[in-house]
Amino acid sequence: MPVPPADSARLPVLTRRKLLQGGGVLMVGVALYRLQTAGPVGRSLNPAMLNSWIEIRPDNTVLLRTGNSDFGQGTVFTAYRQIVAEELNMSIEAITTIVTGDTDRTPDGGGSYGFLEAGSPNVRKAAAYTYQALLDLGAERLGVPREKLVGEDGAFSVGGRRVTYGDLVKGRDLTLTISVQERWPAGMRIVGDPPTKPVSQYKIIGKSIDNSAIKSKVSATEQWVTDVRLPEMWHARIVRPATLGSKLVSAGAVDSKAFPTARIVVKGDLVAVVSPDEWEASQAALQVTGDTKWTEWQGLPTNAGLYETLRKADWASTPVQQGKNSKEGIRPLLDGAARTLKATYQVPYMKHAPIGPTMAVADVRDDVTTVYTHTQNAQMLRRQIAQMLGVGLDEVVIRTFAGPGHYGRSNGGNAGAEDEAVILSKELGRPVRVQWTRAEDMQWSTQSPAAFSDIEIGLDAKGRMIAFQVDHHMPAMNDNRLIGAVLAGLPTLPPPTEKPPVYGKSTLNLLWDRWTYEGTTEIMERAHGTRQIGQDASPLAIGLRDHSMRSPGQFQQNFARELAISEAAALAGADPLEFRIRHATDPRVVGVLEAVRDASGWQPRPSPAPDHASDGERPVRGRGVSMLYRLDSYWASVCEVSLVPSTGVVTVERCVVAVDPGIVINPKQLQRQVEGGVTMGLSQALKEEVMFDQSGVTATDWAGYPILTMAEMPEIKVVLLNRPEVGCYGGGSEGGNVLAAPAIAAAIHDATGKILRRFPFTPANVLPVLGSG
């Protein structure tokens, strides 16, 4: 994803890395760095050592290290293994060990997102370089030119003689260096272009191999982050400020009769209760909460005032970003168009809402602080913890484990509890486990930012889209601050402001949603940013803190864009799917739309449906379409809904999705990822909105922030389009959640003739629109 230039001066950085950019070729047996294994340099791996990425072991198995961690995408356990096995000409079973996300045991992988589009080149190159080295070793051992060798099932065979890769490395002190570049904050990138296997020769990529992490999770042998228990470890619960702007007046005391081993720890506005027993910590924290006094604060607009507040926010101080094909001077086309659409679209705040509230364990020692967590960006968290403690990077180690998916919330470093565990461990001189409650996770975590978009579309007399203009508005995303550090008054990143330049910390908004209707060339796309709501007013500088959430920014922008395109089609009296195809030029855009058309049995006609109705107790039906380009993948969906006008209840009956990711690496896994993404999107569209009052988020549990249940599941039909000729791996884990909201809104229009330009599509939002003239 495009990011503003980084100001790394604010965070400690390993300067050593800059010295490691080597000569650009793989060298076998040339000892630039005398490391026999991928051992630590200080408390980091040397990323210029090939075996920091991939190790061939004497038993002819392979260990793969990736700085990314898995949150249910499964890519590191499926696609990455397949890519490695393919390039090495080994069986998938030979790729036995995957080490993920630990800062002392993997090369810096940056944030865990874009696994295929951005992350797979490293894996592929590491495997390809390793294969080249194996060819050299095999040629030497077998006494034949390397051109005569082709690996098969982890071995080279010539004239009846066979040597396995494991045999080639056995007992050898091999030093293989590669050239790497640090692309902070995106992690290490392997540079150079080793020969890779032609797509036409793929044998393992394209097969539905199992996700190797699933068996351990299903059979209760996985070590989850929630399972980490250290000797002498204590449990902690945090007593949160009464509002998002409250300062501590006085902390309560632990009732030592009721809770004999519990203690209170106060540091600035950070109040915690600790105990060797988790239940005691939990109960004592409730008691202390009742006795702790905070100042009052009311500085938020409430849900009712949100969009008015957003509209009036300072959008002028942050540089406006334009889409790359935007043109000045399209105003006359809009003004002179035969028909025009001019509308505003709204997206609510939404929670990442992991099924498990965030937690972490920290162990602060004199020489090293170790944090056990489930972050999506371990190296960034390491920098942040080092900054908070005022220590060098080599004094911090982050270990990552399987944890509840949280969909982007921690890809700037912290998932929420890590810094608090560190602060308390330092204070107590023992390991501490901080477990947030469900209420804390709802009220004190970041969320997906609310947004609005103003769109104008001009049509000519024949119903062709001759001009498109959009102004997307969204407050700052990616507030990466350590919340415990903020409360405790310890050093951490500043809140997002207009000043660039710390990664993800500015108010800059970007054009996340690529224009896919390139037949219309007269377009103007602008993205406007501003500060987070409540950030400046709160004495804690904590308002509604935002962070990227699955398809960040693009979710907000694509909802507006795709619904507006459906409305434009209606204005043109055209079928919305054919209208899209007619305005597309990229064959992959056309292809994915045709695929969803055919798979859904789509019958062309304009919206609304001939029998549409916006009143009565009889259910009405409608269908809508949406499309998306994201991370080298093309997506399209058709949603079919029924709606009872008298109640405003919307039911999605069927959802058909087509995906073209280029090369389909693993059909079964892709299918499951697509189903998952689409289901989350249905949940967002039908149910999700963060409710807040003037003091903070009012939702404390799943009743206050409901998500989709199984009973509400429609049939989901997934069509995978494999295009080996494209030659690249597009992402399939993410974009699926974008599709439902604009398609359902279009389907509601189809069914009722009424346009609902905001979601969730709950009766509270649907009924007023149905009743409108």
Partner 1 sequence: MVTIVVNGAETPVKSSPDTPLLHVLRNELGLTGPQFGCGLAQCGACSVLLGDEEVRSCVLPLAEAVGKAITTLEGLPGRWARSRGAPSHGESPLHPVQQAWIEEQTPLCGFCQSGMMIKATELLEHTPEPTTAQIKEAFTTSGPSPHLCRCGSYTAIIEAVHRASAIMREG
Q: In the complex, which residues of this chain contact partner 1 (CB under 8 A)?
A: 71-74, 210-211, 213-215, 217-220, 222, 224, 226-227, 229, 277-279, 353-357, 402-405, 407, 435, 437-438, 668-669, 672-673, 675-680, 683, 701-703, 707-711, 713, 716
Work out how close the CB of 274 gets to partner 1 at its nearest, in angstroms, rounded to a whole number: 15
Nearest to 17 by CA among 53, 46, 42, 60: 46
Nearest to 381 by CA among 545, 270, 493, 475: 493
Nearer to partner 1, 58 or 704 (CB): 704
Work out how close the CB of 261 gets to partner 1 at its nearest, in angstroms, rounded to a whole number: 12
- Please enumerate in sequence order all residues whose Cβ is within 8 A of that of 598, keeping only pairs 6 or more positions apart, or say none: none
CA 387, 393, 394, 398 torsion: positive or negative?
Answer: positive
Nearest to 60 by CA among 171, 168, 190, 187: 168
Judged by DSSP in three states, 35 sits in coil
Could you write out the DSSP letters of every residue in 290-315? HH-EE-------TGGGHHHHHHHS--
- The answer to whether 622 and 607 have CB atoms below 8 angstroms apart is yes
Compute the distance between CA of residue 695 and CA of residue 531 in angstroms, rounded to an integer. Answer: 18
Nearer to partner 1, 12 or 72 (CB): 72
Nearer to partner 1, 607 or 673 (CB): 673
Nearest to 183 by CA among 83, 67, 97, 278: 67
Question: Where do we find the tokens 């690496």?
Answer: 665
Nearer to partner 1, 33 or 224 (CB): 224
β-sheet bridge partners, residue 267? 270
Nearer to partner 1, 437 or 509 (CB): 437
Nearer to partner 1, 94 or 678 (CB): 678
Nearer to partner 1, 295 or 700 (CB): 700
CA 103-108-110 angle, 5° bins: 115
- The answer to whether 656 and 685 have CB atoms below 8 angstroms apart is no
Work out how close the CB of 233 gets to partner 1 at its nearest, in angstroms, rounded to a whole number: 10
Work out how close the CB of 715 gets to partner 1 at its nearest, in angstroms, rounded to a whole number: 8
Work out how close the CB of 436 gets to partner 1 at its nearest, in angstroms, rounded to a whole number: 10
- In 540-555, which positions are buried (b, 16+ CB within 10 angstroms) versus exposed (e)? bbbbbbbbbbbbbbbb
- The answer to whether 213 and 224 have CB atoms below 8 angstroms apart is no
Work out how close the CB of 440 gets to partner 1 at its nearest, in angstroms, rounded to a whole number: 11
Tell whether omega for the bond before 742 is within 30 degrees of 0, i.e. cis. Answer: no
Nearest to 236 by CA among 198, 190, 271: 271
Nearer to partner 1, 227 or 611 (CB): 227
Work out how close the CB of 675 gets to partner 1 at its nearest, in angstroms, rounded to a whole number: 5
Nearer to partner 1, 227 or 296 (CB): 227
- The answer to whether 664 and 636 have CB atoms below 8 angstroms apart is no
Judged by DSSP in three states, 594 sits in helix
Nearer to partner 1, 319 or 356 (CB): 356
Structure tokens, 551? 């398809």
Nearer to partner 1, 71 or 156 (CB): 71
Work out how close the CB of 488 gets to partner 1 at its nearest, in angstroms, rounded to a whole number: 25
Nearest to 501 by CA among 1, 2, 3, 5: 5
Nearer to partner 1, 121 or 714 (CB): 714
Work out how close the CB of 434 gets to partner 1 at its nearest, in angstroms, rounded to a whole number: 13
Going edge to edge, which strands form the sheet with 620-630?
620-630, 633-644, 649-660, 715-720
Work out how close the CB of 87 gets to partner 1 at its nearest, in angstroms, rounded to a whole number: 24
Work out how close the CB of 677 gets to partner 1 at its nearest, in angstroms, rounded to a whole number: 7
Work out how close the CB of 622 gets to partner 1 at its nearest, in angstroms, rounded to a whole number: 23
Work out how close the CB of 439 gets to partner 1 at its nearest, in angstroms, rounded to a whole number: 9
Nearest to 115 by CA among 75, 146, 58: 75
DSSP 506: B
Task: Write the CA distances from 136 to 132, 149, 192, integer angstroms.
Answer: 7, 10, 18
Nearer to partner 1, 218 or 461 (CB): 218
Judged by DSSP in three states, 746 sits in helix
